[in-house]
């Protein structure tokens, strides 16, 4: 992700950065907030104009890329919950143009409410 690129490709990669952030979130018992934060970042990268108004092939690919990467970065213990979030977003899409600006986005907090994890 952007921080890994800024730090340098040879020194660190996105997985290493996220692993460190996850460890910190686990210590602070804020894993759910961490998961929302990662989802916000990935949606921002893949959908810079927000949630698509029309789900054509290009939009479907961008949404799938963001959500698939998010599940890949989600801790294994939370995979099932993440898959439910993805299913909910696809079954009942957010309004066109929706762009969560941070982990405290109302829709994301509804899908992934804070809990001590």
**pLDDT tens sequence across 56-115:** 999 999 999 999 999 998 888 889 999 999 999 999 999 999 999 999 999 999 999 987
14 found inside a domain: no
State the Rg of the chain over Cα.
14
28 found inside a domain: no
Q: List C-alpha distances in Å: 25 to 4, 10, 33, 56.
A: 18, 25, 8, 36
73 found inside a domain: yes
58 found inside a domain: yes
Q: Is 77 exposed, middle or buried (0-12, 13-18, 19+ CB in 10 A)?
A: exposed
9 found inside a domain: no
Q: List C-alpha distances in Å: 98 to 23, 28, 61.
A: 29, 29, 17
7 found inside a domain: no
20 found inside a domain: no
The mean pLDDT of 23-36, rounded to a whole number, is 88
Q: Contact, 65 vs 46, CB < 8 A?
A: yes
Other C-beta atoms lying within 10 Å of the C-beta of residue 20: 11
pLDDT-based confidence at residue 14 (cuts at 50, 70, 90):
confident
Q: Which domain holds residue 77?
A: 33-111
The mean pLDDT of 26-52, rounded to a whole number, is 93
pLDDT-based confidence at residue 23 (cuts at 50, 70, 90):
confident
Count of domains forming the chain = 1
19 found inside a domain: no
């Amino acid at each position: 992700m952007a921080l890994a690129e800024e730090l340098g490709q040879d020194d660190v990669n996105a997985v290493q950065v996220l692993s460190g952030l996850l460890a910190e979130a686990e210590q602070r018992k804020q894993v759910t907030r961490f998961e929302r934060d990662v989802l916000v970042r990935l949606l921002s990268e893949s959908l810079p104009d927000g949630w698509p108004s029309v789900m054509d092939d290009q939009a479907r690919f961008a949404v799938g890329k963001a959500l698939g990467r998010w599940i890949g970065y989600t801790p294994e213990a939370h995979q099932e919950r993440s898959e439910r979030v993805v299913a909910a977003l696809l079954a009942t899409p957010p309004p066109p143009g929706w762009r969560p600006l941070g982990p405290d986005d109302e829709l994301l907090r509804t899908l992934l409410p804070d809990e001590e994890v």
